[in-house]
C-alpha cells in the first residue's frame, strides 16, 4: 500500500506536468493545475481544437481508479473545425470523448470510468444502401452543464444537452436532452427522479418514469 501511494504521488508530482507539456506540443490548450495519471490518448485533426481548463483531471490507469482499468482517456476530434472543450475542474476516467462538430463540458463535471460522449453517428447511409464516411454529415453538438455526474459506462449521443447538476446513471444511453437537477438512467435513459440536491431542500419530489425531455 505504501508503494502504491508513492507511485500515485510520483505520477501526480512529476508525470502530470510532463503530460501537460506533451499535450501542448500536440496542439492542445491546457490550463493550470492539470492532473494526468497515466498516458492519455489524443487524436486531434488538423484545424480542430481541444482545450482543457484549469485543474482538469484525466485518469488513464487502474492504479488510481479501478474503473479506469479498461483503458486510457481518449479525446478525439475527427473533422476540421471540430471542438472539444473541458471547463475548469472536469474529471474523467478511462472515458472517450469524440467530436466531429462540438462537445462542451461544463465546470466541475465528473465523467465515470468507460463513459463515452459522442456527437456523431460516424456513418450516414446513402440511397444506395452504402455507408458514407463523413462524420460531420451525421453530427450535432453536445453540451453538458456544470457539476454533472456521468456514471461509469454511460453513453451520451449526438445532439444532447445535459443541464447543470444532472446525474446520468451507470450504463445509461442518453439520446435526448436532460433537464437540470434531474437523475436519469436506463437504455434509453428515462427520468428516475429529481436531483438529490432538490429532494433534500424539498423543492422537488420523486417523478414517475417518463422519457427524457418529455413534455408534461
pLDDT tens-place string over residues 102-156 = 999 999 999 999 999 999 987 666 666 666 666 666 789 999 999 999 999 999 9
- Cβ neighbours of 178 (radius 10 Å): 25
Q: How many independent structural domains does the chain possess? A: 1
Residue 173 has pLDDT above 70, yes or no: yes
106, part of any domain: yes
Q: Is residue 194 part of a domain?
A: no
Considering the domain boundaries, does residue 205 fall inside one? no
Query: Which has the closest alpha carbon to 38: 9, 70, 72?
Result: 72
Structural domain includes residue 207: no
Is residue 85 included in any domain, yes or no?
A: yes
- Judge whether 215 lies within some domain: no
Residue 133 domain-assigned (yes or no): no
In this predicted structure, the answer to whether residue 202 has a pLDDT above a threshold of 90 is no
- pLDDT tens digits for 64-109? 666 656 578 999 999 999 999 999 999 999 999 999 999 999 999 9
Q: Which domain holds residue 166?
A: 2-127+140-189
Decide if 41 is inside a domain.
yes
CATH of the domain at 91: 2.160.10.10
Amino acid at each position: 500500500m505504501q508503494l502504491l501511494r508513492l507511485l500515485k504521488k510520483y505520477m501526480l508530482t512529476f508525470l502530470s506536468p510532463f503530460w501537460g507539456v506533451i499535450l501542448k506540443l500536440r496542439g492542445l490548450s491546457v490550463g493550470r493545475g492539470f492532473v494526468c495519471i497515466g498516458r492519455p490518448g489524443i487524436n486531434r485533426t488538423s484545424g480542430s481544437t481541444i482545450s482543457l481548463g484549469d485543474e482538469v483531471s484525466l485518469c488513464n490507469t487502474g492504479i488510481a481508479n479501478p474503473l479506469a482499468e479498461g483503458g486510457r482517456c481518449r479525446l478525439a476530434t475527427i473533422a476540421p473545425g471540430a471542438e472539444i472543450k473541458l471547463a475548469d475542474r472536469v474529471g474523467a476516467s478511462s472515458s472517450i470523448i469524440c467530436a466531429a462538430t462540438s462537445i462542451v463540458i461544463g465546470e466541475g463535471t465528473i465523467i465515470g470510468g468507460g463513459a463515452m460522449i459522442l456527437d456523431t453517428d460516424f456513418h450516414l447511409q446513402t440511397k444506395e444502401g452504402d455507408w458514407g464516411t463523413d462524420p460531420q454529415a451525421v453530427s450535432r453538438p453536445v453540451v453538458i452543464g456544470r457539476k454533472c455526474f456521468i456514471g461509469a459506462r454511460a453513453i451520451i449521443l449526438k445532439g444532447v444537452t445535459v443541464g447543470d447538476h444532472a446525474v446520468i446513471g451507470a450504463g445509461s444511453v442518453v439520446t435526448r436532452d436532460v433537464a437540470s437537477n434531474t437523475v436519469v438512467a436506463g437504455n434509453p435513459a428515462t427520468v428516475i427522479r429529481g436531483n438529490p440536491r432538490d429532494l433534500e431542500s424539498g423543492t422537488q419530489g420523486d417523478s414517475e418514469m417518463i422519457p427524457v425531455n418529455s413534455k408534461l
